[in-house]
Amino acid sequence: MKLTVWTYEGPPHIGAMRVAASMDGLHYVLHAPQGDTYADLLFTMIERRKSRPPVTYTTFQARDLGTDTAELFKTTARDAYERFTPEAMIVGASCTAELLQDDPGGITKAIGLPIPVIPLELPAYQKKENWGAAETLYRLVRTFASAPVERTPIAGRRSTCNILGPTSLGFRNRDDLVEIERLLERIGVDVNVVAPLGARPSDLARLGHADFNVVLYPEVAETAARWLSKTFDQPLVTTVPIGVGATRDFVREVAEIAGVDAASILDDESSRLPWYSRSIDSTYLTGKRVFVFGDATHALAAARVATEELGFTLVGLGTYSRERAREVRAAANEYGLEALITDDHLAVESAVDALQPELVLGTQMERHIAKRLSIPCAVISSPVHVQDFPARYSPQMGFEGSNVIFDTWVHPLMMGLEEHLLGMFREDFEFADGAGASHLASEQAPVAASRSLAWTADAEKELKKIPFFVRGKARRNTESFAKDQHLSEITVETLYEAKAHFSR
């Protein structure tokens, strides 16, 4: 058993739901108790989806356990077919139903529905949401894309590709897809099939016609992409185009496979990040200590953008995607760090607390951690919340995505000039307590409950003169310094001793 308060990923059947909800003409019949229907609100509330996700739950109750839950599954599957007449159906069990061992696949096969039925085995006590999504997509792809395909050589025609991985509830997937489709269009590549977002089961049958696959979100797409690559001899584009550098790499990779010259696209006029980052106002970004945590794809991309494109210093890198721990470890190594691989948000919190970064790039979970520690934060990855589905177009991928990233990461930090002014006027009464730059909510750092160290009145007053956005750090540094020195009291002297100590 594992003690958990918040989780980065839901159970694997939520991943399957995300795939089902991404597609048209596919229905998911899930053997599950009534409470599991909460999952619908992820789609209707968080994503503001306009229709219920295409999922029917058996909602068995205790009284059914004694009788026949298998029978209930059978009627539910039959009724769902009649009501929704999907092109294909996926069937499976949630955690509770897995224990009942009713065999949803076998039952559905026995009723002989006139459509393909794909049974899903998603071990709920072992695996999690992203794995569930990847497995579901893989099963679907294997079922529908198995016919052999003859392709003509690319030379002399426009090439085509599949885009794999965008899903419902994925972090900015909706807009990323638009951005990448536009980019491919400019490179001169046609999109054959996008899956799962917007695909029908019958579209999956055409996957083999493409010349290559773009693996946009490896967490969801990698298993299916590997199989496609092997089966249809399709190369994979695996660069995830987040950030200017990665977008350029992506363009080069695609252009090479497609056999076209894409040099003109590399220095896109609308790509403002490179100049904004070089403009002098951004000087203050130099060496900002940044902590990055998220799914592997977004964490790796954020680390690269943070260091190569914004000139930050990476002080922590981690992921909850255990499936991709190796890659993240290797990357962290390159940055001279040890990766934090965990799905325990408390471990992330203590890492952030210990490192005291100046910016946290993480999930909604890290946003809360950072808020508690009064550290600026931007969200870069799932798990998502309603505010991660903004009304405006705001991709993370491609050149426009980089522009969005520049804005959203820099915004929580002090504007360069403003920081400067704050330093100059820190003696001014207006800044004396918690008056921050106008674009920042003036939020007081929560004072830790048990402070064993006493601050003298003078020291406390001196501390208040320090701008609020570094005050928490100054307090913590001073206290830890005092503790190391076995001091029982903190004076103004101690404050500056500590400052000197830490600035070495």
Residues interacting with another protein, by CB under 8 A? 1-7, 9-11, 13-14, 33-42, 44-45, 48-52, 56-62, 64-65, 76, 79, 83, 94-96, 99-100, 123-126, 128, 364-365, 368, 372, 385
d(C-alpha 159, C-alpha 153), whole Å: 9
User: What's the rounded Cα separation, in Å, for the pair 236 and 165?
Assistant: 13
> How many CB atoms are located within 10 Å of the residue 440 CB?
17
- 371 is an interface residue for ligand SF4 by CB under 6 A: no
Smallest distance, another protein to C-beta of residue 274, A: 36
Of all residues in the shown chain, the one whose CB is closest to ligand SF4 is 35
- Please give the residues from 391 up to 450 whose contact with ligand SF4 meets the rule CB under 6 A: none
Residue 329 sits in the site that holds ligand SF4 (CB under 6 A): no
Nearer to another protein, 207 or 348 (CB): 348
The string of DSSP letters for 196-237 reads: STT--HHHHTTGGGSSEEEES-HHHHHHHHHHHHHHH---EE
Q: Residues near 198 by Cβ (< 8 Å), separated by ≥ 6?
A: 22, 23, 24
Q: Residue 36 interacts with ligand SF4 (CB under 6 A)?
A: yes
Using CB under 6 A, which of the segments 28-36, 214-222, 315-323, 456-464 binds ligand SF4?
A: 28-36
Question: Closest separation between CB of residue 36 and ligand SF4, Å?
Answer: 4
Q: Which two tokens stand for residue 385?
A: 């919340």
Taking the least distance from each CB to ligand SF4, the nearer of 319 and 364 is 364
Q: Which one of 3-11, 29-37, 187-195, 457-465 is the stretch in contact with ligand SF4 (CB under 6 A)?
A: 29-37
Smaller CB separation from another protein, 73 or 335: 73
**What string of DSSP letters covers 16-28?**
HHHHHHHSSSEEE
Q: Which residues pair with 207 in a beta bridge?
A: none
Candidates 7, 24, 25, 33: give the one binding ligand SF4 (CB under 6 A). Answer: 33
Q: Is 233 a catalytic residue?
A: no
Contact flag: residue 35 with ligand SF4 (CB under 6 A): yes
- Do you know the residue count of the chain? 504
Beta-strand ranges (E) seen in 273-430 are 289-294, 313-319, 340-341, 359-362, 377-379
Smallest separation (angstroms) from ligand SF4 to the CB of 5: 12
Nearer to another protein, 7 or 408 (CB): 7
Q: How far is the CB of 62 from ligand SF4 (least distance, A)?
A: 11
Catalytic residue among 68, 79, 267, 281: 281
Q: How far apart are CA 95 and CA 72, in angstroms?
A: 17
Return the number of other C-beta atoms located less than 10 Å from residue 337's C-beta: 17
Structure-token pair, residue 226: 């590997």
Kindly list the strands in the beta sheet with 26-31, ordered across the sheet, starting from the edge strand earlier in the chain. Answer: 55-57, 26-31, 88-93, 117-119
Quick one: what does residue 247 bind among ligand SF4, another protein, none, with the CB cut-off 5 to 8 Å set by partner type? none
Per partner kind, with CB cut-offs from 5 to 8 A, the member of ligand SF4, another protein, none near residue 280 is none
Nearer to ligand SF4, 36 or 309 (CB): 36
Nearest-10 Cα torsion for 180, 185, 191, 197: 30
Between CA 497 and CA 504, with CA 500 as vertex, the angle to 5 degrees is: 145
3 state SS for 182-207: HHHHHHCEEEEEEECCCCCHHHHCCH
From the list another protein, ligand SF4, none, partner contacted by residue 56 (C-beta under 5 to 8 A by kind): another protein
Residue type (1 letter), 230: K
> Contacting ligand SF4 (CB under 6 A), which of 247, 364, 477, 478?
364
Q: Which does 396 bind (CB under 5 to 8 A by kind): another protein, ligand SF4, none?
A: none
Single out the residue of 229, 220, 214, 197 nearest to residue 160, CA to CA: 214
Residue 385 as a binder of ligand SF4 (CB under 6 A): the answer is yes
Q: How far is the CB of 372 from ligand SF4 (least distance, A)?
A: 12
| Closer to another protein by Cβ: residue 4 or 146 | 4
Candidate residues 7, 96, 282, 491; the one interacting with ligand SF4 per rule CB under 6 A: 96
Which token pair is 472? 């928490």
Q: Which parts of this chain interact with ligand SF4 (CB under 6 A)?
A: 33, 35-36, 95-96, 364, 368, 385
Known catalytic residues are 281
